[in-house]
A and B are shown apart, each in its own frame.
Chain A
Amino acid sequence: MNATSPVVRGQELNADAQALFRYVLRLGDLSLVLGQRLGEWVGHSPALEEDLGLANVALDLIGQARLLLTYAGEVEGRGRGEDEIAFLREHGEYLNAILAEQPNGDFGQTIVRQVLIDAFQLEVYERMTTSSDERLAAIAAKSVKEVLYHLRYSGGWLVRLGDGTEESHARVQSALDNLWPYTVELFAEDELDRTMADRGVAPRLSDVQAAWLRRIDEILAEATLRRPKDRPHSWHGKRGQHSEHLGYILAEMQHLQRTYPGARW
C-alpha cells in the first residue's frame, strides 16, 4: 500500500466514517471476490444445469457487492462509485477474508468453500436486518433471501457428494480439511469488528460463529463428513493481507477497466 492509496487517504475521514467504510468493504469484497471466483466456472461446469446454477449464485453475489461498494463510496465521500472501488483498488486495499479467494479446485472444493461462506453470510445478514445503519439493514434484508437459496444449493450438493460415492466423499472431505483453517479468519474479531458491533451496525462475531457452527455441523452430519479441528491462523485478508491468489483474480477482473478506463456497457 502506498501513501496515496485510497484507503490511506480514507484515514482523513472522521474515525466513525472510516470504520464504517472499511467494514462495508469487508462485506462487499467478500461477495465480489467470491462472485468473481464462481464466474470462472461459466462454460466449465460438469453439467449445463450447474453452469446456470453457479452463474446465478455468482450474479447474486456481484449484485450484493454493487450495493455494498456503492454504499462504501458514499460513506467515503470522495466521489468514488462502485466501479472505481471494485476495479481500481490495489491488492492490499481489498478487505475480504481470504477464504473467498481460494481456488475453485474441483467442483467439490468449490461447493465446500461455498457452503462455508454461504452459511457465514446467512448468519451475518439475518442479524444485520436490524442494524442501526438503515442502509446496511436494507441491503441485508434483500441479500438474506438470496443467500438462503445459495446455501440450499451448496448444502444440497455437499450432502450429495459427502454421502455419495467413495470418491466424492474423499474429495469433499479433503477439500474441507484444506479450507477449514481459513474459516478461523471469518470470526477473528478485531478492533473494527468490535466497534461495529458496539455501535449496533454489525452482529457480534462470537454470536455469528456459534450459529454458523450449529448450521455447519448439521450439514456435515447429513453429508457424513468430519469437521476438522481449528488451527491457529496467520492471515489477515480482512486487513488487506492476501494470498497470492487474489493477484490473479484482480488481474483478470480489473483488466478491462484498466485498459479502457471508464468503459461501460
Chain B
Amino acid sequence: MSNPTEDRRQWPLYEVFIRARGGLDHKHVGSLHAADARMAIDHARDLYTRRQEGVSIWVVPSKDITASDPAENDSLFEPARDKIYRHPTFYEIPDEVKTL
C-alpha cells in the first residue's frame, strides 16, 4: 500500500484544509501524519472537525507542496513594499462618485 522507498518508521505528513461553511474557501488548519489519503481524511475529521469546524476537508501530501525559499524573501517580497499605489486606498475618490 505504501511506497517501499519511503521511510516506513514515520507516516507521511499531510496538510489539512477545512471549509468552515458552504461558500467559504478551504483554509489551511494544520497538518497530520497518515499512512494514506483516506486515513488522512479520517484523522483530519477527528482532529480538526470535532467541534463542528467544517463541512468539507481537503488533504494534500506535504511533499507535493512547493514553497518559496525564505532566503529569497528580499527579492520576492521587498520590491512590493514601496509600491503603495497598488492599494486602492492610495487613490482619492472624487466626491461625485457615490457608489464604488
By a beta-carbon cutoff of 8 Å, the part of chain A in contact with chain B is 47-49, 52-53, 56, 149, 152-153, 156, 160, 163-164
Give A153's nearest chain B residue, CB to CB: B42
- CB pair B11 A47 closer than 8 Å: yes
- CB pair B33 A156 closer than 8 Å: no
CB neighbours (8 Å) of A49 from chain B are 32-34, 43, 46-47
CB neighbours (8 Å) of A160 from chain B are 1, 35-36, 39
- Number of A-B pairs whose CB atoms are under 8 Å? 29
Interface string of B29-61 (1 = CB under 8 A from A): 000111110110011011100100000000000
- CB pair A152 B42 closer than 8 Å: yes
CB neighbours (8 Å) of A52 from chain B are 43, 46-47
Chain B interface size, under 10 / 10 to 19 / 20 to 34 / 35 or more? 10 to 19
- Can you list 24 A-B pairs, Cβ within 8 angstroms, ordered by A? A47-B11, A47-B33, A48-B33, A49-B32, A49-B33, A49-B34, A49-B43, A49-B47, A52-B46, A52-B47, A53-B43, A53-B46, A56-B46, A56-B50, A149-B45, A152-B42, A153-B42, A156-B38, A160-B1, A160-B35, A160-B36, A160-B39, A163-B1, A164-B1
By a beta-carbon cutoff of 8 Å, the part of chain B in contact with chain A is 1, 11, 32-36, 38-39, 42-43, 45-47, 50
Q: Interface residues of A: mostly helix, strand, loop or mixed?
A: helix
Q: How far apart sit A50 and B93, CA to CA, in the bound complex (Å)?
A: 57
Q: How far apart sit A49 and B11, CA to CA, in the bound complex (Å)?
A: 11
Q: How far apart sit A160 and B33, CA to CA, in the bound complex (Å)?
A: 15
Q: What is the minimal beta-carbon distance from B38 to any residue of chain A, in angstroms? A: 6
Give A49's nearest chain B residue, CB to CB: B43
Q: How far apart sit A48 and B34, CA to CA, in the bound complex (Å)?
A: 11
